[in-house]
Structure 1
């Protein structure tokens, strides 16, 4: 799967939105590994929550093609503008919306592929809800208690978002207690699989895959 060009950004641009890092590239590796499964599904709607620079949703759009619609969501307006710029610079069409998770959309069982690189770093809870010293950028990593305060909000919605054969891919770290996440999602009717993992600078990164039982 081709990694999109980000040459349209300067180093200063990354002061305003999340710069692709190890978690971004691990997610790209996981989607490349899963690409044949995704293509067999013949998705009509792919959505990324927390798109940042737009590198992931753009890569997926380039790989899957024009038969599918692509939507990116980010609470940070600068990230939305960056995602739009990345998609346009790489010749794909991605609809970009600024909002908190999927709060303003009614995706009633319409999404075939859902991708989420959430704020997963364990931080004080107030950092999740306040701008902090880095402004909106801090929301890209501040996960609160267990790093779970943002991702826990989306879990109950997954069943109403995904199509019957839909797939949900999410980044997590070992501090997020993936066994507990698996238990929560199992009770909601989903099976969890770890499709990629990597240890980097004291963090054990995971790409989790959820499908219906």
Structure 2
């Protein structure tokens, strides 16, 4: 099978799902092949008659069929780019999303020469903690801790940390429960589960394949966030910062929760679609 024939076949298969436009089907067909062959798009254009090896042909067919069945590209390829870093991504982990880079950026703004301890709760692939570690790697006084309840997820985060030589400590933990009240943090950051457990979006797109424990949190989507807000009361240093990613319709409720638990300097930041996405507050 030549490159041109492979692309034509893949685009036809993807279009048949009736979920992609012509442009999207063409883009995904080309993207999957460039990633599998480790070449750029220009190579596909320059060498359309180049014959795929039997191994590459089989891998491409499997990848396209996986995509036709709805599997996320991140799981098919086994990685997702985040903050310019290629992160191993498995069905045990939430797929890192561009909007979470806003959470990283806001956290970086809160780091000062006095910052000593940062903890990332529910780290998943390690995306947030690793990005922070790479941006602050010259700071020898800063400790970055990343936690997750799931051991397989932590193993993926460990792989990514080693791959990118990121100095972070990984701990299996149910939010902040293992940390005593004297374990004081300067910054707590988290992209916790925040989708309502009966949300119909859970049965559409990539969400169908992602771990449900990393997506949903009670009937209103606020169970995990409420727990974190409460646990941070005694574990954040005075004037320490809590930064939370959340759903676009949850900003007002989260600001109210933070206010009722005595936080100050409460602010919600918009995402790239100009929707509420990150709320920050000071202890």
TM-score tier (shorter):
0.7 to 0.9
TM-score in terms of structure 1 length: 0.79
8 Å CA contact 1:109, 1:163 repeated in 2: no
Question: Which stretches in structure 2 are left out of the alignment for 5+ residues?
Answer: 1-81, 200-207
Change (3 A) 1:43 1:114: same
Question: Which stretches in structure 1 are left out of the alignment for 5+ residues?
Answer: 126-132
Partner of 2:213: 139
Asked if residue 31 in structure 1 is aligned to residue 111 in structure 2, the reply is no
Partner of 2:279: 208
CA deviation after TM superposition for structure 1 residue 156, in Å: 1.5
Asked if residue 99 in structure 1 is aligned to residue 162 in structure 2, the reply is no
Partner of 2:93: 17
Partner of 1:50: 122
- Secondary structure of residue in 1 paired with 2:124: coil
Query: What is the aligned counterpart of 1:82 among 156, 168, 186?
Result: 156
2:92 and 2:124 map into 1 onto residues whose CA distance is 10
CA deviation after TM superposition for structure 1 residue 73, in Å: 0.7
RMSD (Å), alpha carbons: 2.4
Structure 1, residues 108-158: CA drift from partner, whole Å, max 9, x if none? 361001101010111149xxxxxxx869x2111112222112111122122
Partner of 2:86: 6
Change (3 A) 1:79 1:168: same
Structure 1, residues 26-48: CA drift from partner, whole Å, max 9, x if none? 3233335x2xx4124x2111100
- Secondary structure of residue in 2 paired with 1:199: coil
- With CA pairs under 8 Å and 6+ residues apart, which has the higher RCO, 1 or 2? 1
- Secondary structure of residue in 2 paired with 1:160: coil
Partner of 1:130: none
Could you tell which deviates more after superposition, 19-28 or 82-91?
19-28
Partner of 1:156: 230
Change (3 A) 1:167 1:99: same
1:195 and 1:175 map into 2 onto residues whose CA distance is 13
CA deviation after TM superposition for structure 1 residue 71, in Å: 0.8
Change (3 A) 1:164 1:195: same
Moved over 6 A (4+): none
8 Å CA contact 2:268, 2:276 repeated in 1: no
CA deviation after TM superposition for structure 1 residue 54, in Å: 0.7
Structure with higher strand content = 1
8 Å CA contact 1:30, 1:196 repeated in 2: no
- Kindly tell me the number of residue pairs found equivalent between the two proteins: 191
8 Å CA contact 1:5, 1:86 repeated in 2: no
Partner of 1:113: 187
- Secondary structure of residue in 1 paired with 2:115: coil
CA deviation after TM superposition for structure 1 residue 66, in Å: 2.6
